[in-house]
Amino acid sequence: MESVELQAAAGELLSLAGKILKTARYDTEQRLAACNVGISALQYGILSKLNGKNYTLSELSGLMSREPATLLPAVDALEAHQLLERGQDVRDRRRTPLAITRRGLAVLQQVPPVAENGLLMNALKEMGDQKVEQLLALLQQVALLVAPDPKEALESHKDEAG
């Protein structure tokens, strides 16, 4: 492909990724509202990342591709509602890992990770198994090629795939 064609393809990929993310965010907001758990999609994402692993605010920032200043109010609100807690690293006092609480885990268990009849699920059902597998393989390859750290891209994909 010529450079101009690659630029057009990159632009189209960015546009499509934005549309898919917007749909996924909408579906998440709908699931949260239906379950009446009282947290935002961003807060749900933070709890999901902390499910099974502790991260500092800085580490969460990298995993979620958000600035720490954007995450801080959401983390503070989650802490105020006792859905997560700030810890202390005994090996490094400067490090403050965040951990999900039992109450936070209960909130995650109330909200299905994906809506069975959500927009994205319906689209994937329409595509069929073979096309879904191809799509995932291609997106995984793109993620590996664009990520600064290939391990991060794989972990991020695993976390988001549920």
The string of pLDDT tens digits covering residues 108-158 is: 999 988 888 888 899 999 999 999 999 999 999 998 888 766 455 445 444
pLDDT of residue 89: 77
pTM, full prediction? 0.76
Task: Please give the residue that has the higher pLDDT: either 22 or 161.
Answer: 22
pLDDT of residue 116: 84
Percent share of the chain, pLDDT over 70: 91
pLDDT of residue 82: 96
Burial class (CB in 10 A: 0-12, 13-18, 19+), 138: exposed
Asked whether residue 69 carries a pLDDT value surpassing 70, the answer given is: yes
Which has the closest alpha carbon to 39: 103, 85, 122?
A: 103
Query: What are all long-range contacts of 81-84, with beta carbons under 8 Å and residues at least 24 apart?
Result: 81/38, 81/39, 83/39, 83/43, 83/47, 83/107, 84/46, 84/47, 84/50
